[in-house]
Each structure stands twice: as C-alpha cells, then as structure tokens.
Amino acid sequence: MVLDQDIGLNGTLFGGDMMARMDMVAGITASLMSRNRRFVTVKVSELIFHSPVRPGEIIEFYATVTHQGRTSLSIQIEVQVYAPVTDTHRDVTSGGFVMVAVDAAGGAEPILWKAEMVAEASAMHRVRKARQDEPGRKNQG
C-alpha cells in the first residue's frame, strides 16, 4: 500500500520510487524463473506513467517473460493500483526490463531455467488476461 511517507510534492508517488519497485520486481521475477544467483538490469524500455498513484492505493505488479535468451530474459511489467474505497483497478505504469544473469565477477552467465516456473507463469498470465477482458470488470484505467 502506498503510504503518506512515499508521496512527493505533487501529492502522488514519486516516479523514481515506482521505477525502483519495478526494477526489484524484474529481479525477483528473474530469480523465480531460474536457478541463477545474481541478475543485473541491462536495459529498461518504454517506461510509461499512465496515471498517478495516490496514498492508500494498493500496488499490483504483473510480470510477463516476453523473451528467453541465453544469458538474458526480457520482462514486461504492467502495474495497476487497486483502490479499496472505490473497489476499482487502474493501470498506472508499464515498462520493459532486460535482466542478465551474472557470475561472481559480474560477467554474463547462461540462465538455468526452471521450466515448470516459466510454464506456470505463462498460464497465470493467460488467466489474468482472460479475467481482464471479462465484461463488467471495474477498471478506470
């Protein structure tokens, strides 16, 4: 949940805070999908702030692996907020992250995929997309 302490001068969440949270989610996603110990961010693209985030809203991160490379993976992150007071969801931010598995010396190393996790994540993604497309879902975004 976004707290008063997270809020900047405009009364909304600071963009850099959201970027850091998304980068963290990208790293966690990469770790969940593999047996590698370390990942670094090599590229961030198309970061779009669709709508401001306000205190009291609950941030939801949805990560999709869009490309599985040899030492890298591409992850698309869609961020929504859920406002409990109005019981609505809203799209707030989206962006692409490329994460690279690195060894102890910081050099790129092959990704050791957890195939079952990748399959489970894409199945969950399909379910979420189907739910999103359901008529009557409350989404102001």
Q: Binding residues for ligand COA, per CB under 6 A?
A: 40-43, 69-72, 98, 100, 102, 106, 108
* Closest distance to ligand COA from the beta carbon of 10 (Å): 26
Q: Whose Cβ is closer to ligand COA: residue 106's or residue 141's? A: 106
Cβ closest to ligand COA, residue 72 vs residue 93? 72
- For residue 18, the minimal CB distance to ligand COA (Å) is 16
Nearest residue to ligand COA, scored by beta-carbon proximity: 69
| Residue with Cβ nearer ligand COA (81 or 101) | 101
Least distance in angstroms from the C-beta of 29 to ligand COA = 15
Of residues 60 and 103, the one with the C-beta less far from ligand COA: 103
Query: How far lies 80's CA from each of 7, 57, 67, 100, 104, in Å?
Result: 17, 10, 22, 26, 35
Tokens of 103: 């060894």
* Shortest reach from residue 30's CB to ligand COA, in Å: 12
Spatial CA neighbour of 91 closest among 132, 46, 30, 136: 132
Calpha distance 44→26 (Å, rounded): 10
CB atoms within 10 A of CB 136: 4
Tokens of 21: 């949270």
Backbone angles phi, psi at 105, to 5 degrees: -90, 0
